[in-house]
Amino acid sequence: MYLTTDPAAVEFLDLTMVDSGLNAYLGDPEKTDPMLGADIKGAQIELQHAVKKLQGLSDDPTRTDVQKHEAGKRLATKVIERLTATKTAIEKRAKELESSAIADANSALGPRADKAGLHSEIRDYLIEVNRKPDGLEKTRAALAESPEVAAVLWHSPRFLTGLPQESFENMRVEALKSVRPDLHANISNAIGLTKLAAKYPTVIGKVSRSFYNEQVAKQATRRVEV
């Protein structure tokens, strides 16, 4: 059925023939960022089309085993080029979303001269309450009460809030979500896209190992042309 009988390779190739497998490996084009839908769908089509050709190649009576694996390598190379391009597009979009969201957040929640006095008082309050065990709870309560607390948490250095590092990062995210859920969503989407792009090298490795046997394909270089 394929050029390799390795169980892991066969499982991978079989999964590429169903939508659920393609979505798991490369992302769901219907649920991912709209600007990436065509890229991801194109990568899925390229991979699935190549696997179908691979199936036919394994039963091709006009080619020797060496020629089959050489052709399998060419198929793999074409797929890998497409997957690499798609990975790059995903990473680019993730950076665009994150950079734009952070820039907008800095603009909306950055320091303001007319709020300097109030923000200073909020920082004093945060430092005081976060000396106590229930500091995080009181910080969240203050955040729920006033959007100016969100601004302070977003643009102030950690040491001016009294929060420990791990809590500070979480509170900044909560602060942004409380006043600009749209920007929070963009950052979350960017994180999701970064994780999706990180899947692609694994898929590329599976393509290399599953489409052909390198040692057999190499024998094609020994062909004597007459």
Q: What are 76's two structure tokens?
A: 């793999």
Instruction: Say what the pLDDT of residue 224 is.
Output: 57
Exposure string of 77-108, with b = 16+ CB inside 10 Å and e = fewer, is eebbebbeebbebbbebbeebbeebbeebeee
Instruction: Say what the pLDDT of residue 61 is.
Output: 92
Contacts of 22 by beta carbon, 8 Å cutoff, 6+ apart: 15, 16, 44, 47, 48
* Residue 209 CB burial class (10 angstroms; 0-12, 13-18, ≥19): middle
Contact (Cβ atoms closer than 8 angstroms) between residue 93 and residue 194:
no
pLDDT by residue for the chain (226 residues), tens only, comes to: 899 889 999 999 999 999 999 999 999 999 999 999 999 999 999 999 999 999 999 889 999 999 999 999 999 999 999 999 999 999 999 999 999 999 999 999 999 999 999 999 999 999 999 999 999 999 999 999 999 999 999 999 999 999 999 899 999 999 999 999 999 999 999 999 999 999 999 999 999 999 998 888 788 777 656 6
Least Cα distance to 111 among 154, 56, 163 occurs for: 154
Q: Rounded distance, CA 126 to CA 146, Å?
A: 13
Q: Rounded distance, CA 121 to CA 156, Å?
A: 13
Instruction: Say what the pLDDT of residue 17 is.
Output: 96
Instruction: Say what the pLDDT of residue 223 is.
Output: 67
Q: Rounded distance, CA 193 to CA 201, Å?
A: 14
Contacts of 55 by beta carbon, 8 Å cutoff, 6+ apart: 1, 2
- The beta strand positions in the chain, using DSSP E, are none
